[in-house]
Amino acid sequence: MTVLENTPSAVLVLAVGVLCGTGVYLLLERPLTRVLLGFVLIGNGVNLMLLVAGGRAGASPIVGNAPNDEPMSDPLAQAMILTSIVITLALTALVLAVAYRSWQLHGHDEVADDVEDRRVARQAALNAPAFEDADATETGETLDEEAAEVYDEVADDDPDGQTPGDAPTDTPGGAR
C-alpha cells in the first residue's frame, strides 16, 4: 500500500501564515468592514491549514476512480473545508448586514465603545463616585448614544471632548 508523503508543502504553510497574520491585523481595526475582511482572510488561512492537515494532494477520492497505484487525497479534510467555506459565507452575510445597519444609523460602521468604557470616561470627567447611576446625570444623552458618537477614525468630531484620557480637573465635586 502506497502511503502519501505527509510532509506539508512550505508554500501552503507560508500562505497560512500570511493570511492569518494580515487577518489578525485587520481584525484589530475599528470599522466592521475591515474586521470582516480580516475574518475572511483568517477563515481562508484556517481552511488552508485544514488542507495541509489532510496531507498532500493525490487522486480524486472516489473509490474506483483512481489508477491502481496512485494514492487518493484525504476526502475528510476537503469535506470539512467545504463546510467551513459555507459557514464563512453565511457569517460574512450576517456581518455585512450588521455593518450596513450601523452605517444607516450612524453614517459609519465603526464598532462603538463598550458602555462601561463610556461610563468610566463620563465618571472620570465628573470625578463622581461610582455608585451613582451615570445614565441619570444631566448630559441628557444615554451612554449608548454617547458610545455611538465617540469613534476613532474621526477623533476631531468628538462632540464634547470626552475621550477617556482627558478628564477635566475643575469639574464640580472634584475634591480628592
Partner 1 sequence: MTGVWNVETLVPLPVLLPLFAAGLTLALYRFPAVQRIISVTALAATTAASAALVAVADSGPLVVDVGGWAAPVGIDLVADRLSALMLTVSGIMLLCVLLYSLGQGVAEGDEASSGRVGDAIPVAIFHPTYLVLAAGVANAFLSGDLFNLYVGFEILLAASAVLLTLGGTAERVRAGSVYIIVALAASLLFLAAIALIYAATGTVNMAQLAERLPDVDPTVRLALQLLLLLAFGIKAAIFPLSAWLPDSYPTAPAPVTAVFAGLLTKIGVYSVLRTQTVMFPDDERVDRILLVAALLTMLVGILGAVAQNDVKRLLSFTLVSHIGFMIFGVALATEAGTAAAIFYVVHHISVQTALFLVVGLVEWRGGSTSLDRLGGLAKLAPVLALLFFVPALNLAGIPPMSGFLGKVGLLTEGVRVGSPLAWALVVGSVATSLLTLYAVVKAWNKAFWQTAPPEVATEGSVPRGMMLPAGALVAFGLTLTVVAGPLYGYAERAAAASMDGRSYVEAVFPGGRDRGTGESVEVAGTSGERDPADVAGGERP
In the complex, the residues that contact partner 1 under the rule CB under 8 A are: 1-4, 6, 27, 32, 35, 39, 42-43, 46, 49-50, 52-55, 58-59, 61, 63-77, 80, 83-84, 87, 90-91, 94-95, 98-99, 101-102, 105-106, 111-112, 114-116, 130-136, 144-145, 147-148
- Taking the complex as a whole, how short is the minimal distance between the CB of residue 154 and partner 1, in angstroms? 17
Q: Which of 10, 90, 75 is nearest to 43 (CA)?
A: 90
- Taking the complex as a whole, how short is the minimal distance between the CB of residue 157 and partner 1, in angstroms? 17
Block residue for cell numbers 487525497 = 73
Cα 172 to Cα 176: distance, rounded to the nearest angstrom: 11
Cα 56 to Cα 34: distance, rounded to the nearest angstrom: 33
Q: What is the DSSP letter of 69?
A: T
Of 136 and 155, which CB lies nearer to partner 1 in the complex structure? 136
- Taking the complex as a whole, how short is the minimal distance between the CB of residue 110 and partner 1, in angstroms? 9
Q: Which of 87, 67, 88, 65 is nearest to 75 (CA)?
A: 65
